[in-house]
């Protein structure tokens, strides 16, 4: 769902300057969240917009949303004032945090032409995955704020309803995907995401439509899998592609994905990235969210 910001709310937010955030470890403090909520609640139609955002992410049939903050980005730039407003919207969904102690709350995802093309900062196709798939407590939400799209026109975002894809699989495939047979990635210098989960099941046994679908297409090439388990994972990968939606994030678009419902990825950037100055290349900022216990955010 794409959510436009009402004009009267935009006008009020352009004039609103939220205070700097404070962190408890890597998590936004409750006092900062309360302060932001108090400040933003006085702006016209903020509560209505925040409720629409929450419904899009956790309501029936939902799982992702794009908050159109482009006019705010144009008016304010992509500096601290704008990021505090984006953080305020995120805090209406769940608790913002960074699982990477060496990075700030918002982590840059730029373009590195000499990096693995399938990585988040690479230039190739970034296949369907969930972030921190091998953590025992992955972030409930992953979010991407577009500062600059690819000026050459590539890099469409792709999303797919993971549980709908699973429902289209055979019973035998679902049984194999529920086995703790899958591995991917390393696990070090992380905060707030539990312990390393290795090996893990793709389906966690929460029942139809529930829980994480712990999938990353990269494990098909980089894990030692038996033939049956690999085939089941490939079948799921095909169903994810079959059900995908794609769109181009524009400057100021804020994509929020409920990781318990949807997986995400990116089409390849357009050829010619090496000809662009770094200041012109695609730039996203990433922030993660943890649902509070009992708040229903990750249902």
Q: Which residue has the tokens 């695609």?
A: 282
Q: What's the token pair of residue 35? A: 């302060």
Please, which pLDDT band fits residue 259 given cuts at 50, 70 and 90?
very high
pLDDT, tens digit, 9 for 90 and up, residues 140-173: 999 999 999 999 999 999 999 999 999 999 999 9
Q: Determine the structural domain holding residue 125 and report its residue range.
A: 2-290
pLDDT, tens digit, 9 for 90 and up, residues 21-49: 999 999 999 999 999 999 999 999 999 99
Q: Is 296 contained in some domain?
A: no
DSSP 195: S
Q: Is 299 contained in some domain?
A: no
Return the pLDDT at 293: 56
Number of helical H runs and strand E runs in the chain: 9, 13
Whether pLDDT at 120 is above 60: yes
The domain that contains 221 carries what CATH number?
Answer: 3.60.130.10
61 vs 48: CA distance, rounded Å: 20
Q: Is 298 contained in some domain?
A: no
Question: In this predicted structure, which of 31-45, 51-65, 75-89, 216-230 has the lowest mean pLDDT?
Answer: 216-230
Neighbouring residues of 143: CB distance < 8 A, sequence distance ≥ 6? 90, 254, 255, 256, 257, 286, 287, 288, 289
Q: Is 184 contained in some domain?
A: yes
Q: Is 141 contained in some domain?
A: yes
Q: Is 248 contained in some domain?
A: yes
CB atoms within 10 A of CB 36: 23
Q: Is 76 contained in some domain?
A: yes
pLDDT, tens digit, 9 for 90 and up, residues 135-145: 999 999 999 99
Total tally of structural domains belonging to the chain: 1
272 vs 136: CA distance, rounded Å: 39
DSSP H/E element including 40: helix 30-41
DSSP 243: T
Q: Rounded to two decimals, what is the model's pTM?
A: 0.95
Q: Which residue has the tokens 């949807």?
A: 262
Q: Is 295 contained in some domain?
A: no
57 vs 49: CA distance, rounded Å: 13
95 vs 180: CA distance, rounded Å: 30
SS3 content of the chain, % helix, strand, coil (to 5): 30, 20, 50
Q: Phi and psi of 178, rounded to 5°?
A: -85, -5
Please, which pLDDT band fits residue 179 given cuts at 50, 70 and 90?
very high
Return the pLDDT at 297: 44
Return the pLDDT at 221: 80
pLDDT, tens digit, 9 for 90 and up, residues 195-226: 999 999 999 877 666 789 999 999 988 778 89
Using a pLDDT cut of 90, give the percent of the chain over it.
Answer: 88
């Amino acid at each position: 769902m794409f959510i436009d910001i009402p004009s009267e709310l935009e006008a009020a937010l352009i004039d609103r300057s939220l205070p700097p955030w404070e962190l408890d470890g890597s998590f936004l403090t409750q006092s900062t969240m309360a302060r932001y909520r108090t400040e933003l609640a006085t702006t016209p139609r903020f509560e209505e917009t925040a409720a629409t955002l929450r419904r899009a992410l956790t309501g029936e049939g939902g799982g992702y949303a794009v908050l159109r903050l482009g006019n705010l980005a144009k008016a304010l730039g992509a500096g601290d004032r704008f990021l505090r407003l984006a953080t305020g919207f995120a805090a209406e969904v769940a608790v913002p945090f960074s699982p990477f102690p060496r990075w700030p709350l918002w982590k840059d995802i730029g373009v590195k032409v000499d990096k693995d093309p399938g990585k988040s900062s690479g230039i190739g196709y970034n296949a369907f995955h969930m972030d921190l798939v091998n953590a025992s407590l992955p972030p409930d939400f992953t979010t991407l704020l577009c500062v600059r799209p690819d000026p050459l026109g590539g890099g469409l975002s792709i999303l797919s309803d993971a549980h709908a894809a699973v429902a289209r699989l055979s019973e035998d495939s679902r049984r194999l995907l529920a086995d703790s047979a899958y591995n991917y990635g390393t696990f070090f210098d992380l905060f707030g995401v539990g312990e390393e989960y290795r090996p893990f099941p793709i389906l966690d046994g929460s029942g139809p439509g529930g829980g994480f679908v712990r999938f990353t297409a990269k494990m098909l090439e980089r894990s030692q899998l038996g033939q049956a388990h690999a085939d089941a994972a490939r079948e799921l990968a095909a169903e994810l592609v079959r059900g995908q939606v794609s769109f181009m994030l524009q400057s100021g678009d804020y994509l929020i994905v409920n990781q318990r419902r949807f997986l995400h990825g990116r089409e390849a950037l357009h050829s010619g990235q090496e000809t662009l100055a770094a200041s012109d290349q695609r730039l996203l900022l990433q922030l993660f969210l943890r649902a509070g216990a009992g708040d229903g955010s990750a249902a």
